[in-house]
Structure 1
Amino acid sequence: MTCLPTSFNKLALGRCEHAPQKHDVSASVSFHHLAEAFGHAVDAKDGHTANHSYHVAELADLVAVRMGISPHKQKDLHLAAHLHDIGKIGIPDAILKKPALLTPTEWEIVKHHPRIGVDILAPCLRGSHDSILDMILYHHERFNGSGYPVGLCGEEIPLGARIIAVVDSYSAMVQHRPYRSGLSHLSALVEIHAGRGKLYDPQVVDAFLAVQTDVRQLTHLVCPRCDTPPTSKGEFPCAPVQVLVPASMPKPAYRNSPHPS
């Protein structure tokens, strides 16, 4: 499986290998906006994954704050969460949008997306932000070693990747897919808890469950009346209300820091 050409990397990343190396606020904000835009670009490939990368980034913030992770590491986690699925740009639409379960061969192709993502971003991030690349590469690793692409287990998996694994799974569970309906918020929590110590880091699961009220408020991924996900049009089954994300949620400390890097 080949990744996107280097020329695309340079164009998409603004030839950032020549960008200033100082970690000032303006550079960080620009990088965040770029990461968010790339996340939206990936989500736009499939209407059923609308805002997925945004939700994963915001959910990762909630868990990181709960776990007391430093502002510097929170910032890298947030950016990695926005970019975690960027490698899906290199996966054929016929597979990503398939309205049925994937064949074993198709599933093996999908499993290339973490490495493709790292290949796309490495010219920009290698050396200065290796932790972001590691989180993207390993976000599908599982605590018991059953994940991919390497089969790492336990604390061999970077903490940020362990956090993304939980919030990414939750977001995917509650969203509708062409081949299945999304789970309710409570059903998804049951699934996450069932994977505690098996698929997911127990400490990350505990932190995620501790902020589950904020999860509902932040993402509005489920209806406050009937506890079901919105349709692909952003409407709730019991009341056609457009899904909105609150603009007044408290921001993690790193977003207000004069030295976010």
Structure 2
Amino acid sequence: MKNILIIIKLLISIGLYSQINMDYIIESQNELGQLKLKIIVTNKTDKPYLLPIDTSSFKGYYESEYCGIFEDQDYPYKFFAPTVMLKEENKQEYLFPGSSKGHLPEGDGSEEYIKSLINTANKEINEVEKWKKKYDLKNKKDAIKNYYLTKNLLFLKPNEKHVYTIVLELGNINRENASTLYDYYSFEFKKYFLALHLCITNDAYNWLTIKQKKRFKKFIFFTGTIRSNDVLFEPIKKIP
């Protein structure tokens, strides 16, 4: 039943939500499963739009998180990152990733790695606390949600394009900045289609303050599902 609902959502989104397009190309690929992507987000209308998109990362594909409710997920999970959609050539079913808690390295460099995680976590905590005071937010949860949302808002003028380049590491998609938790995809010697999806629901904007909503009132708040082009590629190539 869940699969049917997901398919229905995807079909509806194709016809109703084409104001914003997302296309990409694979600029390079290495043997470690790292893809350098050039992503283009385009406002196809003559009206200004805004939408949340985390351009620093990606998400693995889980049904419960595909069009999830922002309130149900805790920061620093990268809720607004594009979802990685993978399927084998000539198949329709999307692949689900595996998930790992990872592990802390041992030996040389382990202390520096742990320190970097702690420093990243402390930096984010301090930034959120400052954000809470600056915008007079009621509690920590409001501050965290508002901070992550507004830091990742993309403002697009009519017919404007936003282009960015990022590395997608299919074997290590970090779920958080200050954690070893990650998603990963496993592959065979086959060709796969890769697409990027971004689903934004109305509830996302509930975490903006009244003042912020007034400041952004000239923009249309995008809701819907953006689906990129599909690119056929070989994650693993046989050695001749």
TM-score range, shorter chain: under 0.3
Q: Relative contact order (alpha carbons < 8 A, sep ≥ 6): 1 or 2 greater?
A: 2
From the two aligned structures, give the one with the greater strand fraction: 2
TM-score normalised by structure 1 residue count: 0.26
